[in-house]
Structure 1
Amino acid sequence: MANRVEPKLTPALFEELQKERFVMIATCDHETGGPNVSAISWIYAKDEETILFAVDQRSRILENLKANPMAVITLIANESTYSISGKSFIAAEKLESVPLKLTLVQLDITNVRDVMFYGSKITVEPQYDKTYDKKAADRLDKQVMEALKKA
């Protein structure tokens, strides 16, 4: 049975990407050409065709995207797993109104695939805790997400 393929985010997936959440991003490594996977959480769907995310200016993700702008975001939501593919570019070298040196990246979605294997569903979505000062983490997360929403 073939998995569904959409040209943009469905309303349910768009809603899932209106808040900070755990996702994986796959890029092509700029040195080896092989796959490189990273976990990120500062991500926001600007609209059904555009995803914005913030990463540290020293992140390998940025070097990889400069060499090859294609990327895939893996999202676990709504009892399934989704592969969100697209072409990315650096929208701003420095994300304004944030104390850290973060870069704003835009992913223009080319397709969204439900990639969950047949006859199964996700019963518990990934969760994470910040391991540093809770108040500082909450304040920073709020600043980054507000900056993404304004971008």
Structure 2
Amino acid sequence: MAKTADRLNERLVASLQGEKIVQLITMDKDTNLPNLSAVSWLLADPSGKTVNIAMGPKAASVENIRHNPHVVLGFFADGSYYALSGTASVSDTFERTMKLCVVTVEAEAVEDAIFYGGQVTVEPAYIKTYNPELAKKLDEEVYELLRQ
């Protein structure tokens, strides 16, 4: 049986400091079926108890969380794959270059979810395919917001 903790350990916190593909699973507000989205603007708190995620306020995941706050974050880190289960809340909308809100996930359980005998040797990587100056500006605004 996998070992479960109530917070992210130091290595996992370090791995969740943005620019990482993380799967966010919510429950669809209309169908009550699982809904998966990928996010990358995120920061884990040093305490390991919360993860802040920046999203557009009209995102389906945001609407789902407003109806059912139970979520799971899935992510590669430390040679494995982890599932963080928790309760999420959504902030007010912030006006920046684009409208944003902060989804705060309170960790309730963190579990190493890799299959028996599995080890991740390479984590997924991505590039931003839009205007580099705009990407830099958005990143600066988002991470300033997430640190508040």
Coarse TM-score class (shorter-chain normalised): over 0.9
Pairwise CA RMSD: 1.1
Residues 9-62 of structure 1 show CA distances to partners (whole Å, capped at 9, x for unaligned) of 011001111233210000000010001000001111123101111111110001
After superposition, where does 1:98-137 map in structure 2 within 5 Å?
A: 98-137=96-135
**CA offset digits 1:69-112 (Å, max 9, x no partner):** 0000011111100000100111x22236x321111111111010
Contact 1:72 1:86 in 2 (8 A): yes
Equivalent residue, structure 2, for 1:67:
67
The one-letter amino acid paired with 1:132 is: Y
Q: Partner residue of 1:4?
A: 3
1:138 is aligned to 136
Q: Is the 8 A contact 1:20 1:145 kept in 2?
A: no
What is the aligned partner in structure 2 of residue 54 from structure 1?
54
**Contact (CA 8 Å) 1:80, 1:114: kept in 2 or not?**
yes
How do 1:71-90 residues align onto structure 2 when only pairs under 5 Å count? 71-90=71-90
Structure 2 stretches lacking a partner, 5+ long: none
Q: Secondary structure at the match of 1:131?
A: coil
The answer as to whether partners of 1:54 and 1:103 remain within 8 angstroms in 2 is yes
Instruction: Supply the distance in 1 between the matched residues of 2:52 and 2:123 (Cα, whole angstroms).
Output: 21
Q: Percent identity?
A: 35
Using structure 1 for the length normalisation, give the TM-score.
0.93
Unaligned ranges ≥5, structure 1: none
Bigger shift: 140-149 or 112-121?
140-149
